[in-house]
Amino acid sequence: MKSILLHIDHDAACPARLQVALDIARATNGHITCLQAVSYDVFMPGDFYGSAVAAALPVIRENADKLRETIERDLEHEAVPFDWRFEYGVAGQRLIEASPLADIVIMGPAEPGMDGKGPSALVGNVVTRAGVPVLVVPETMQSFDVGAPMLVAWNGSPESARALRAAVPLLACSVKVTLACVVEERGEVNAFDLPSTEGAKYLARHGIACELVELPRGEARIGDTLFAAARMRECELMVMGAYGHSRLTEMVLGGVTRHMLSAPPMPVLLAH
């Protein structure tokens, strides 16, 4: 992961993902690009003439400048190369525009300003449109050990295969990789495009050994089953394909991606 694109905002998870970005950069000799997007698309009920918005804009910019000064001051003592991109506009669009030459985008799980309620539409927008893996970091993370065990959620879909390929630089650092699939109660695997053994062969070609595990579906949600398996193995990272169904279906009916992004207990690397 030589080129790390880091989303900067005032949300509660920002310090956590900054630390994770630093840990990955140190382990891979990577470079961090901090992208801070400030949107002036502000709406205030009853402000028909825009006077309240006009008064708020200098405050928004001042707060953004203070955040930049604080983070840059901290980064200067970390011995990790970085640069800063300040952009006006919607964060999702600016991250997508900056992503073509990024190896990974690091974001928080919650929509900024939404107080952590529900999965982030911002993450969904970037992961489905950027064509780059997205690492979602919960605010509880204080550090990220790239040598820790990692779990790959495998269902044989193109999305899970892309996530596996994207995660190879991190999986290569792990002391133990588990390739896990959730099977139905009858012991029959859902109509996979690729069996888990193909994923294991791919990793082996990169010099990465993995354990193949089949997890019974049971009564729990698939996301809960996968997270429980990861915690039992002391994993620090979950790798999975995102939005095997359309995002609209996930938002309306729910889905594995939506559930796992609502309150992830560990970083989740997503690819679509």
Query: What does each of the 272 residues of the chain score in pLDDT, given as a tens digit?
Result: 899 999 999 999 999 999 999 999 999 999 999 999 987 655 445 554 456 556 667 788 899 999 999 999 999 999 999 999 999 889 999 999 999 999 999 999 987 665 555 567 889 899 999 999 999 999 999 999 999 999 999 988 899 999 999 999 999 999 999 999 998 765 454 554 688 999 999 999 999 999 999 999 888 888 889 999 999 999 999 999 988 655 443 443 346 677 677 788 999 999 99
pTM confidence score: 0.88
State how far the Cα of 81 lies from the Cα of 29, in Å rounded to an integer.
9
Beta bridge partners of 6: 34, 106
Strands of the chain, DSSP E: 3-8, 31-38, 82-88, 104-107, 134-136, 150-153, 177-183, 210-216, 237-241, 268-271
Contact between residue 28 and residue 150 where contact means Cβ atoms under 8 Å apart:
no
Q: How far is the CA of 69 from the CAs of 32, 65, 194, in angstroms?
A: 16, 6, 48
Contact between residue 16 and residue 98 where contact means Cβ atoms under 8 Å apart:
no
Beta bridge partners of 44: none
Q: Which tens digits make up the pLDDT trace of 52-71?
A: 556 667 788 899 999 999 99
Rounded to the nearest 10°, the torsion over CA 138, 130, 235, 75 is -60
- Domains in the chain (CATH in brackets) are 3-136 (3.40.50.620), 150-271 (3.40.50.620)
Query: Which residues lie closer than 8 Å to 176 by C-beta, 6 or more apart?
Result: 149, 150, 211, 233
How far from chain centre, in Å, is Cα 227? 15
DSSP 91-146: HHHHHHHH-TT-SEEEE-SS-TTTTT-S--HHHHHHHHHS-S-EEE--TT-S---T
| Token code pair at residue 209 | 């050994």
